[in-house]
């Protein structure tokens, strides 16, 4: 009997261990090397810090509690956000719906890109009843405004949206009256192609005290730190690829410790912000958070005031997220004529725009070239590539130069050159040759006489 019980116990223990190992591998194991502590601020980040501080003070110190019970303050916050967007040179639009006979406003700005794909960055601007909402979520809104200012005037490959959402807090939380759910539903009805949604949720508090970090589910503390000095990246299992990409870019900058998890949405805390609304409509999304109630003692309290925030580490998070968004949209700063070509070349490539010297550590730079020239015979030449295309084959044009784009079965991108085309103009994009093909890397000319040659950006 004892032997039988022992064997049963071993089987149960092995099964539990296997489940934990699988959960770690698929949901908690994150790419990139983490850092132990926060970096020093650069001169630009010092200016960013004061910008964030001023906006948090405006929202939580001057306007204060802002919700449907404090409707004038809710409108004042909306006006402040709208004015801040406009002063950055953007064109804000109110996405309005009615609740209890009163107008409620989501506020968006859009930076159109060469692609219909949309990267959306959002934060809710209301606060819970009885709370001025400095960290929750004045910190997220201040970050949203700062990031929007830094992308204003940039050309992007993907379309980029910044949206301030209303009515995230109870009693509208995770309901059809939640501002982000109204917005995401309208996006779905329009057929908006949202490739990534980033929710900035309570990101301003950090602590180096022992046991300052707790977790929503038993056992998670086995895998994560007990000191609350990190920023968290949270996703549902469907958004795991987006989470890994964002964490990889964030960690490469070595600014502040970071932890991530792709977990089922039913685990407490995982769906506690506006990314939930986009998950409901089939869009991938991640939440950036300091973990709120699992660290911050002033969460949803009257004491959630601007003086409680750690503005240095808050700044490092925002600075790091700027580079994550750069990677997701592949911004360009060239003239409009060149940008049309460069957007397609740089979109989802393994390197940034060299004209801005935006090299992300650990990635090979890709240098964009002037538009390639059309051959006398009108043959096709390789121009560009886009990772996610709505159909299998798509053509891009610029100055008469064409390129066919296909996506292979293993999700690599393939550009096929037409037969007999001439070389591109000097300075053409360097490409890495597919190892399956014989031949050398081409830096000046990327057309080939065989349609079987493959080149991967």
> Locate tokens 């709208």: which residue?
82
Mean pLDDT of 370-391: 37
* DSSP structure string for 318-386: HHHHHHHHHHHHT-B-S-HHHHHHHHHHHTT-SS-BGGGT-PPTTS--B---SPPPPPTT---------
pLDDT at 432 over 80: no
Q: Show the CA angle centred on residue 11, arms to residues 7 and 16, nearest 5°.
A: 145
* CA pair distance 369, 367, nearest whole angstrom: 6
CB half-sphere exposure, 220, CA atoms < 13 A:
18
Strands (E), 137-289: 159-165, 193-201, 231-235, 258-262, 285-289
Domain span including residue 393: 369-457
pLDDT top residue among 173 and 333: 173
Better-predicted residue by pLDDT, 386 or 92: 92
CATH of the domain at 268: 3.40.630.10
Q: Distance between CA 125 and CA 23 in Å, rounded?
A: 34
The predicted model gives 406-423 an average pLDDT of: 37
For the chain, the C-alpha Rg in angstroms (whole number) is 24
Number of domains in the chain: 2
Give the separation between CA 278 and CA 185, rounded to whole angstroms. Answer: 8
364 in a structural domain: no
Instruction: Mark whether 292 and 387 lie in a shared domain.
Output: no
Q: In this predicted model, which residue has the larger pLDDT, 418 or 305?
A: 305
How far, in Å, are 211, 216, 233, 254 from residue 221 at the CA level?
Answer: 10, 9, 16, 23
Does 434 reside within a domain?
yes
pLDDT for res 76: 98
With bands split at pLDDT 50, 70 and 90, how would you rate the model's confidence at 448? Answer: very low
Q: Are residues 152 and 255 in the same domain?
A: yes
Residue 27 in any domain: the answer is yes
Residue with tokens 């060149």: 338
Report how far apart, in Å, the C-alpha atoms of 322 and of each of 109, 149, 223, 328, 387 are: 17, 11, 28, 10, 21
pLDDT band at 428 (very low <50, low <70, confident <90, very high): very low
- Pairing of the two strands 285-289 and 258-262: unpaired
The rounded distance, in Å, linking the Cα atoms of 59 and 133 is: 8
Q: How confident is the model at residue 350 (pLDDT cuts 50, 70, 90)?
A: very low
Answer left, alpha or beta for residue 236, where phi above 0 means left and psi between -120 and 50 means alpha: beta
Q: What is the mean pLDDT of the chain?
A: 77
State the Cα–Cα distance between residues 269 and 26, nearest whole angstrom.
19
- Whether pLDDT at 341 is above 90: no
* Listed residue (184, 197, 124) closest to 158, CA to CA: 197
**pLDDT recorded at residue 2:** 63
pLDDT 10s digits, 16-69: 344 444 454 456 899 999 999 999 999 999 999 999 999 999 999 999 999 999
Instruction: State the average pLDDT over residues 182-190.
Output: 98
pLDDT in tens, 146-168: 999 999 999 899 999 999 999 99
Q: How confident is the model at residue 219 (pLDDT cuts 50, 70, 90)?
A: confident
Read out DSSP for 142-155?
HHHHHHHHHHTT-B
Statement to judge: residues 322 and 379 lie in one domain: no
**Considering the chain, what percentage of its residues have pLDDT values greater than 70?**
66
9 in any annotated domain:
no
Alpha carbon distances (Å) from 338 to 54, 196, 424: 37, 26, 15
381 and 280, same structural domain?
A: no
pLDDT for 222 equals 87
Query: Is there a domain that residue 17 lies in?
Result: no
Backbone angles phi, psi at 166, to 5 degrees: -100, 155
Flag whether pLDDT at 189 surpasses 70: yes
**Residue in 268, 182, 172, 244 with CA at minimum distance from that of residue 28:** 244
pLDDT of residue 70: 98
Least confident of 107-121, 284-298, 386-400: 386-400
**b/e burial code for range 115-154 (CB count within 10 A of at least 16 → b):** bebbbbbbbbbbbbeebbbbbbbbbbbbbbbbbbbbbeeb
Q: Residue range 321-340: average pLDDT? A: 66
Identify whether 104 is part of a domain: yes
pLDDT 10s digits, 240-271: 999 999 999 999 999 999 999 999 999 999 99
Boundary-marking domain end, from 306, 329, 352:
329
Specify whether 305 is located in the same domain as 375: no
pLDDT surpassing 70 at residue 384: no
Q: Are residues 246 and 387 in the same domain?
A: no
Here the tokens at position 41 are 């601020």
pLDDT score recorded for residue 56? 98
pLDDT on residue 13:
45
Residues 138 and 282 in one domain: yes
Closest by Cα among 202, 249, 263 to 228: 202
Determine the pLDDT at residue 203: 98
Does a structural domain hold residue 291? yes
Final residue before a domain boundary, out of 273, 305, 329: 329
Do 299 and 442 lie in a common domain? no
Residues 113, 329 contacting (CB under 8 angstroms) = yes
Q: Are residues 173 and 296 in the same domain?
A: yes
Whether residue 112 sits in one domain with residue 171:
yes
Q: Residues 292, 136: contact at Cβ < 8 Å?
A: yes
């Amino acid at each position: 009997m004892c032997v039988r019980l022992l064997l049963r116990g071993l089987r149960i223990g092995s099964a539990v261990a296997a489940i934990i190992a699988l959960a770690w591998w698929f949901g908690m194991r994150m790419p990139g090397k983490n850092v132990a502590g926060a970096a020093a601020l650069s001169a630009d980040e010092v200016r960013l810090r004061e910008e964030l501080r001023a906006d948090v003070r405006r929202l939580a110190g001057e306007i204060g509690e802002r919700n449907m019970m404090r409707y004038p303050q809710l409108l004042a916050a909306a006006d402040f956000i709208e004015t801040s967007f406009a002063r950055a040179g953007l064109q804000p639009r109110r996405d309005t719906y009615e609740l209890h006979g009163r107008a409620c406003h989501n506020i968006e700005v859009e930076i159109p890109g060469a692609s219909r794909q949309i990267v959306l960055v959002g934060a809710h601007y209301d606060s819970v009843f009885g709370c001025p909402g400095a960290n929750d979520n004045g910190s997220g809104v201040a970050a949203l405004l700062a990031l929007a200012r830094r992308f204003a005037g940039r050309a992007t490959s993907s379309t980029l949206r910044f949206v301030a959402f209303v009515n995230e807090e109870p009693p509208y939380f995770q309901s059809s009256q939640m501002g982000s759910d109204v917005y995401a539903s309208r996006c779905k009805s329009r057929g908006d192609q949202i490739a990534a949604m980033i929710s900035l949720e309570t990101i301003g508090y950090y602590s180096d005290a022992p046991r300052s970090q707790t977790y929503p589910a038993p056992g998670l503390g086995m895998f994560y730190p007990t000191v609350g000095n990190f920023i968290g990246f949270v996703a549902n299992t469907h958004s795991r690829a987006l989470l890994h990409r964002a964490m990889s870019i964030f960690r490469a900058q070595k600014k502040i410790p970071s932890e991530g998890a792709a977990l089922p949405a039913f685990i407490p805390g995982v769906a506690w912000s506006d990314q939930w609304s986009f998950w409901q409509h089939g869009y991938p999304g991640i939440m950036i958070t300091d973990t709120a109630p699992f660290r911050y003692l002033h969460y949803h309290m009257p004491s959630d005031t601007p003086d409680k925030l750690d503005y240095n580490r808050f700044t490092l998070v925002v600075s790091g997220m700027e580079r994550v968004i750069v990677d997701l949209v592949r911004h360009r700063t060239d003239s409009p004529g060149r940008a049309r070509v460069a957007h397609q070349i740089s979109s989802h490539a393994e390197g940034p725009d060299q004209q801005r010297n935006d090299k992300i550590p650990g990635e090979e730079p890709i240098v964009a070239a002037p538009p390639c020239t059309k051959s006398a015979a009108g043959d096709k030449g390789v121009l560009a590539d886009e990772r996610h295309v709505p159909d299998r084959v798509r053509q891009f044009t610029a100055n008469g130069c064409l390129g066919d784009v296909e996506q292979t079965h293993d999700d690599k991108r393939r550009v096929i050159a037409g037969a007999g085309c001439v070389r591109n103009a000097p300075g053409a994009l360097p490409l890495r040759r597919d190892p399956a093909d014989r031949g050398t890397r081409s830096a000046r000319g990327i057309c080939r006489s065989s349609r079987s040659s493959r080149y991967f950006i």
